[in-house]
Amino acid sequence: MVEFDDSFRRQLRDLFVWRRDVRRFRSDLLPDGAIDRLIETACLSPSVGLSQPWRFVTVDESARRRDVIDDFKACNADALNTYAGERAARYAALKLSGLEQAPGHLAVFADKISDIGHGLGRATMPETIEYSVVAAITAMWLAARADGIGLGWVSILSPDRIHAILDVPASWKFVAYLCIGYPEAECDQPELEKAKWEHRREASEFTLRR
Amino acid sequence: MVEFDDSFRRQLRDLFVWRRDVRRFRSDLLPDGAIDRLIETACLSPSVGLSQPWRFVTVDESARRRDVIDDFKACNADALNTYAGERAARYAALKLSGLEQAPGHLAVFADKISDIGHGLGRATMPETIEYSVVAAITAMWLAARADGIGLGWVSILSPDRIHAILDVPASWKFVAYLCIGYPEAECDQPELEKAKWEHRREASEFTLRR
């Protein structure tokens, strides 16, 4: 049995505060095996019915990376078109991915038909399969930051296109595309807050009692 | 800027290993404000476009708790009916929730139409709203364990029924129902593995290269 002390709890809070979505990476390569170690940590996460539905695809081939970047550019141009005026100008100025610079690319999928776990816990809420994968990504994100490694989650992508580019099994649902590398700078404030796109609210705004 | 050392990284790994889905709670109440502090920690999590879509409902009224427990029992009976023979007997023997004992009940929803974040990052993947809420729950789960508090995620529930019982806005999607309290015992092994329902696999089984 393991107990944690105040010093650890303070550092854990620092980890939550300083974990950021990183879009600006240094060009240094990651140490050998760094991404595999993060995947191993991710697999310590909870999953519905112990289904372990996480499927990780490290993307190293430059042609596939290029196709992913092209898909991001197309989706981002479409997104820009949904804004107008001042908001469009501000959207256009945002840096929303580090796909071009990040030394590591990792796509993460959820296997919707895996029989690991014998279907337990997901009959009324099949989406708990994807949720289990998100829990694993969250753990990996925190572990990466503790190693001084930055992670950026890119969601401005077409799931069908990513599925085709990476040629993965049909039952795998695309959950996230992660850029991984050493960050240019550390920060305790979200990029979108620094850019005055949005600000963080108090927890009390989001809480009801029943 | 904050850096983390080997000692913290070792303890963080211990936290991942000893974070468990808890179904057996002691009857002691949580300290005043403990759940609010966990919610505050959860709100440090990443969210798509800084949308902060997490909505927390602390459930204290005994009539509502009773209705939730009744819904769990109905859904669990339905689930049992999907298994046969030896597997059904083993399912029936599992303890799958601590709803009756847990001093804290917390329902978590995702606001699908919040305009916080101005829609950024979710045009092609609207499910990133729910994913952001799952990231927040994961952070809360880890922070709870560091405090010696156990959390159990109950998914054997009918989302429509929970929505009605808790009378929340129509745009909120039900993500999780959490039991929170002090665990009867600590463990580094998933309940479903101890019960020989399923076993954990190696990370390498879940990894492809492209």
Q: What is the CATH number of the domain that holds B148?
A: 3.40.109.10
Note whether A36 contacts B: Cβ–Cβ < 8 A. yes
CA gap A69, A77 in Å, rounded: 12
Note whether A60 contacts B: Cβ–Cβ < 8 A. yes
Q: Is residue A17 part of a domain?
A: no
Q: Is residue B74 part of a domain?
A: yes
Note whether B34 contacts A: Cβ–Cβ < 8 A. no
Mean pLDDT, to the nearest integer, of B140-167?
98
Mean pLDDT of chain B: 97
- Quote the pTM value: 0.97
Tokens of A105: 């690319």
Split at pLDDT 50, 70, 90, the class of A86 is very high
Q: Which residues contact A146 (CB under 8 A, 6 or more apart)?
A: A15, B4, B8, B9, B12
CA gap B147, B41 in Å, rounded: 12
Which one of A11, A16, A159 has the shortest CB-CB distance to B41? A16
Q: Is residue A54 part of a domain?
A: yes
Range list of H helices, chain B: 6-18, 34-42, 62-80, 85-93, 128-146, 159-166, 191-194
Show residues of chain A in contact with B145, CB under 8 Å: 4
pLDDT of residue B207: 96
Q: Is residue B168 part of a domain?
A: yes
Q: Is residue B130 part of a domain?
A: yes
Mutate to test the interface with A, among B4, B19, B179, B201 (most CBs of A within 10 A): B4
Which one of B11, B61, B201 has the shortest CB-CB distance to A4? B11
Show residues of chain A in contact with B64, CB under 8 Å: 210
Note which residues in 102-141 of chain B have CB less than 8 A from chain A: 107, 116-125, 127-128, 130-131, 134-135, 137-139, 141
State the CB neighbour count (10 A cutoff) for residue A42: 25
Mean pLDDT, to the nearest integer, of B41-60?
98
Is B9 within 8 Å of A146 when comparing Cβ atoms?
yes
Range of the domain at B59: 22-184
State the CB neighbour count (10 A cutoff) for residue A61: 13
Number of domains in chain A: 1
Query: What is the signed CA dihedral for B57, B62, B67, B73, rounded to 10 degrees?
Result: 100
CA gap A53, A32 in Å, rounded: 25
Helix, strand, coil percentages for chain A (3-state, nearest 5): 40, 15, 40
Q: Is residue B202 part of a domain?
A: no
Q: Is residue A190 part of a domain?
A: no
Split at pLDDT 50, 70, 90, the class of B1 is confident
Mean pLDDT of chain A: 97
Q: Is residue B191 part of a domain?
A: no
Is B138 strand, coil or helix? helix
What sign does the dihedral B138-B127-B40-B66 (CA atoms) show?
negative
CA of A110 to nearest chain B CA: how many angstroms apart?
10
Mean pLDDT, to the nearest integer, of A48-61?
98
Mean pLDDT, to the nearest integer, of A165-181?
98
